[in-house]
Structure 1
Amino acid sequence: MTHSTISLPPLHDGFLRGFLVKDDQVRLFVESVSGETFTVLLSGVKRFNVDGFAEGNIILDCELLASPEIPNDLLVALNHGGTSNKELEQLRAAVADGTYRLFVISPSYGATVVALIKGLSVREGTFMD
């Protein structure tokens, strides 16, 4: 898969502490293993899914993908469990034509996050507004 060059903080073994959804924006509140806090701001969100949110939520990996070679399990998650080939291909096409990118947090424990987004930025600290 093609990975974007945006710089994400080192979050391996860090924590997903929470999230806030407002209109087409999502704020993910994360903490590095060294205790630094960050707000990952997702904008132009077309689809967003968090599955398995629990105490802990240890992050294995955090990726921003820009390739149409998206695993079907991520597309199904974006489609909220729907497996219609037509719907899954529409989601894949939105990434293939460059309109959207796929943001993924894979867990060691707890929440998996998948989002179809137009933009991403990172701020140090926790910002609710």
Structure 2
Amino acid sequence: MVVRVARLHRVLAGQLLREVGLHVGQELVMLELWERGRLRQVDLAEVLGAEAATVTRTVRRLEQAGFVRRVPSPTDRRSVLVEATVASLGVRRRVEELWDELESWLTEDLGEDEKAESVRVLERLEERLLRRVEPGGRD
């Protein structure tokens, strides 16, 4: 059941994100950059729990779309820093609105007690999964 719900959530998220020119997964990179600011690409991969190669491909696509830029680290010639562009800030609010919209669709028919119970159960499931994820777990 969880897998089916997760798959449907991903499909709906993809449909909504197309509106702003993002694909599923790219919004997670953007949310981290918007919240944290400029990050080393290796740190971005760590925060996302993703393989470096996956993040490299995602960042390349976001860069081609004009949402991020890569710059050399001023302190470490081996490192690349990734930062959100000014252009990406224009879609930030809409991405946040889209996530709110998706959450509304998911819970619109639930009463307050059902919403609270759902959150409680999902938090327990999340805790169980987190215990199984290896430190620095990868995608």
TM range (shorter): under 0.3
Bigger fraction of residues in helix: 2
Point out the structure with max Rg over C-alpha.
2
Bigger fraction of residues in strand: 1
**TM-score under structure 1 length normalisation:** 0.27
- Pick 1 or 2: higher relative contact order, CA cutoff 8 A, min separation 6: 1
**TM-score under structure 2 length normalisation:** 0.25
